[in-house]
């Protein structure tokens, strides 16, 4: 079964999402901060991360940018309550997110995005690997 990690500094958000999506065919984990998320990723298999953007310490985009380099096998989704064009541009260009979603978000839309992310994951990972190889060749 695939695993989705929800990252949000408000625990009520992640626990409510887990309740709402409990019948979805994936396992769900929670983390309270980007640093917690890195710990989880280090010890558990994770396929998709759904992260809040504005959090104390490291932001969602920073977390996903870091993981894009160290764990290209994880697909990132941002779910933010403070959307802005600037935040979206950074999430896409630096965080390489698969989807940029805003709160309040219908969990069914989120579930659809997660299912699509899981569906496209292999292709995305393969593409990232090739891009990396090409970048290495050019360099």
- Alpha-carbon span 22 to 125, nearest angstrom: 27
3-class state of residue 18 by DSSP: helix
- Count of chain residues binding another protein (CB under 8 A): 24
Residue 104, interface with another protein (CB under 8 A)?
Answer: yes
Q: Does 121 help bind another protein (rule: CB under 8 A)? A: no
Name which position in 28, 49, 50, 55 contacts another protein (CB under 8 A).
55
Residue 139: half-sphere exposure toward Cβ, Cα within 13 Å: 6
Euclidean distance between CA atoms 1 and 14, whole angstroms? 19
Tokens 């403070």 belong to 82
Identified binder of another protein from the candidate list 13, 29, 40, 124, rule CB under 8 A: 13
Contact pick of 25, 39, 57, 126 for another protein (by CB under 8 A): 57
Q: Is 17 among the residues that bind another protein (CB under 8 A)?
A: yes
Strands 3-7 and 48-51: parallel
Q: Toward another protein, which CB reaches closer, 39 or 126?
A: 39
The verdict on 25 binding another protein (CB under 8 A) reads no
């Amino acid at each position: 079964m695939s695993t989705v990690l929800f990252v949000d500094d408000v625990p009520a958000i992640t626990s409510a999402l887990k309740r709402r999506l409990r019948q979805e065919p994936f396992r769900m984990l929670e983390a309270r901060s980007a640093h917690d998320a890195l710990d989880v990723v280090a010890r558990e298999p994770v396929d998709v991360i759904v992260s809040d953007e504005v959090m104390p310490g490291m932001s969602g985009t920073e977390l996903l940018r870091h993981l894009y380099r160290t764990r290209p096998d994880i697909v990132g989704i941002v779910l933010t309550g403070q959307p802005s064009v600037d935040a979206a541009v950074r999430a896409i260009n630096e965080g390489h997110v698969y989807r940029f979603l805003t709160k309040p978000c219908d969990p069914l839309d989120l579930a659809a995005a997660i299912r699509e992310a899981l569906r496209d994951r292999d292709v995305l990972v393969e593409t990232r690997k090739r891009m990396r190889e090409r970048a290495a060749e050019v360099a």
